[in-house]
């Protein structure tokens, strides 16, 4: 038995499914999950000392490369001053100010410890602010695992559950709660207009992945984005951009800077914590003023604004803000995608690609899908074969066809070439 197999057998005895987050278990693709020992730059090494080019980068956060020396130094320095105080620090103000500068729609921000906490808190705040209950979300979008958001959800839910029914995607979520969540098809302007015509006066919030990354990568169309902004404004609903995945990853100012849209609230996570457990939600001052201790919407956290996480996040944001960072990341990612497409064409396999900044999608279909339904019709069996062939060649892709992929600034020309070569071998074999 390999070390990975031994660890997986052992893990399953004390950890449900052997993992602490479901997609890590390789359920869609089958096989033994890799247990990671260490990582550096664009690479990680598993328990059997096999090296992989990492194309998930902790599902997004590690945009400056694993164990980036500058981030490590910032974390080490912070850690010597203790890990947590439960009292405010100057570092939190610096970080809040920097994020407000980078995303001008955010006038005030609150730090939390996970993306789930950010979206859950933003929804509560929107409901408290509007005194309404109904929320609108879109098929295949994942916003963390708060109860009201687990309806037709993407990511692991799309991988495991029958998300086709208009019912909770997860056990343990009361139907009574889900009835306040209206789920609409992504990129469908007609359905959105109809929903607002019928229910507009009861809608507290519309929450959107502005570039979806939890049903593979799917861009919102310009018409859809325009309709989302104007209808929420017209009916007095809070527009929440869930940029947990896309914030500081698709562009320095997030998707909202690409869309030229000012959402009312924004949720952030992943990159802003530099790989440490940190996330945030923020937006209009008037809405944020409803939060305790100013207002009556309660939200709190023992580890919120954790000083070590703040140090990692602040240094990461400093690095991604440097001139040329996003141009380089975008170019390398595009080059990688073009290379994969070329190799698939060479092997005569229907295949398409897309990318924005350091986030990418590839699809075993002739054209890039624009809806949840279209993604579920791509060739999942071909994906599984490709995943294992690439793993064998030393490239670690997301172990599900319903997840986006992520690069980092450490994925330089040599690394991109290494991946493309692995793809050439893999496409021949599948």
Ligand X SMILES: Cc1ncc(COP(=O)(O)O)c(C=O)c1O
**Catalytic amino acids?**
142, 242, 270
Query: In angstroms, rounded to a whole number, what is the distance separating the alpha carbons of residues 66 and 416?
Result: 16
**Residue 361: is it exposed, middle or buried by C-beta count within 10 angstroms (0-12/13-18/19+)?**
buried
* Residues in Cβ contact with 228 at an 8 Å cutoff, skipping those fewer than 6 apart: 192, 206, 208, 220, 239
Closest chain position to ligand X (CB) = 115
Nearer to ligand X, 242 or 354 (CB): 242
Distance of closest approach, residue 148 Cβ to ligand X, in angstroms: 13
Angle, helices 90-102/307-320, rounded to nearest 10 degrees: 30
| Smallest distance, ligand X to C-beta of residue 110, A | 15
The label of the residue with tokens 């410890």 reads 113
Q: Which is nearer to ligand X, 119 or 332 (CB)?
A: 119
C-alpha 69/C-alpha 405 separation (Å) is 24
In angstroms, give the least distance from the CB of 415 to ligand X.
Answer: 24
Rounded to a whole number of angstroms, the minimum distance from the CB of residue 20 to ligand X is 11
3-class secondary-structure state, position 112? strand
Residue 204 near residue 130, CB atoms below 8 Å: yes
CB of 116 to ligand X, least distance (A): 3
Q: What is the dihedral of CA 17, 18, 21, 24, to 10 degrees?
A: -100
* CA distance linking residue 130 with residue 235, whole number of Å: 11
Q: Which CB sits closer to ligand X, 142 or 427?
A: 142
Residues interacting with ligand X, by CB under 6 A? 59, 114-116, 119, 142-144, 155, 209, 213-214, 242, 244-245, 269, 279
Please tell me whether the peptide bond between 293 and the residue prior to it is cis, using omega within 30 degrees of 0. yes
Could you give the CA distance from residue 373 to residue 139 in angstroms, rounded to a whole number? 9
Q: Are strands 134-138 and 203-208 parallel, antiparallel or unpaired?
A: parallel
Q: Least distance to ligand X from the beta carbon of 404, Å?
A: 9
Q: 15-43 burial string, b = 16+ CB within 10 Å, else e?
A: eeebbeebbbbbbbbeebbbbbeebebbb
Answer whether 394's CB lies under 8 Å from 422's CB: yes
Residue with Cβ nearer ligand X (203 or 276): 276
Closest CB to ligand X among residues 227, 271: 271
- Residue 58 or 68 with smaller CB distance to ligand X: 58
């Amino acid at each position: 038995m390999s070390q990975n197999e031994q660890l997986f057998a052992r893990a399953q005895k004390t950890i449900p499914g052997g993992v602490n987050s479901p997609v890590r278990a390789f359920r869609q693709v089958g096989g033994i999950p890799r247990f990671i020992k260490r990582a550096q730059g664009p690479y990680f090494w598993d328990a059997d000392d096999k090296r992989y080019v990492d194309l998930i980068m902790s599902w997004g956060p590690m945009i400056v490369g694993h164990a980036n020396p500058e981030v490590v130094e910032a974390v080490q320095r912070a850690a010597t001053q203790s890990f947590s105080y439960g009292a405010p620090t100057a570092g939190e103000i610096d970080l809040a100010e920097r994020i407000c500068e980078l995303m001008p729609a955010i006038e005030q921000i609150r730090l939390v410890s996970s993306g789930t906490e950010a979206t859950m808190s933003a929804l509560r705040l929107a409901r408290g602010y509007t005194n309404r209950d109904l929320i609108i979300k879109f098929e295949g979008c994942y916003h963390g695992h708060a109860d009201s958001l687990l309806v037709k959800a993407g990511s692991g839910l799309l991988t495991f559950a029958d998300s086709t029914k208009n019912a909770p995607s997860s056990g343990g979520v009361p139907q009574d709660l889900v009835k306040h969540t209206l789920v609409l098809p992504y990129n469908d302007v007609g359905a959105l207009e109809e929903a607002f015509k019928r229910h507009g006066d009861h809608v507290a919030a519309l929450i959107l992945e502005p570039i979806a990354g939890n049903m593979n990568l799917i861009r919102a169309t310009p018409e859809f984005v325009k309709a989302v902004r104007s209808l929420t404004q017209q009916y007095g609903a809070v527009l929440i951009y869930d940029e947990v995945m896309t914030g500081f990853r698709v562009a320095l100012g997030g998707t909202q800077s690409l869309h030229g849209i000012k959402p009312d609230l924004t949720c952030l996570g992943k990159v802003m914590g530099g790989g440490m457990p940190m996330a945030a939600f923020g937006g209009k001052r008037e809405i944020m003023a409803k939060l305790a201790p100013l207002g009556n919407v309660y939200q709190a956290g023992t580890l919120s604004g954790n000083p070590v996480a703040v140090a990692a996040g602040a240094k990461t944001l400093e690095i991604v803000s440097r001139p040329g960072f996003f141009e380089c990341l975008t170019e390398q990612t595009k080059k990688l995608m073009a290379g994969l497409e070329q190799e698939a064409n060479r092997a005569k396999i229907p295949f398409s690609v897309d990318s924005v900044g350091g986030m990418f999608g590839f699809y075993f279909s002739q054209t890039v899908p624009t809806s949840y339904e279209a993604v579920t019709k791509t060739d999942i069996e071909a994906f599984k074969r490709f995943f294992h062939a690439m793993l064998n060649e030393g490239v670690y892709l997301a172990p599900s066809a319903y997840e986006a992929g992520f690069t980092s600034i450490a994925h330089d020309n040599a690394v991109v070439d290494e991946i493309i070569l692995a793809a050439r071998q893999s496409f021949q074999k599948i």
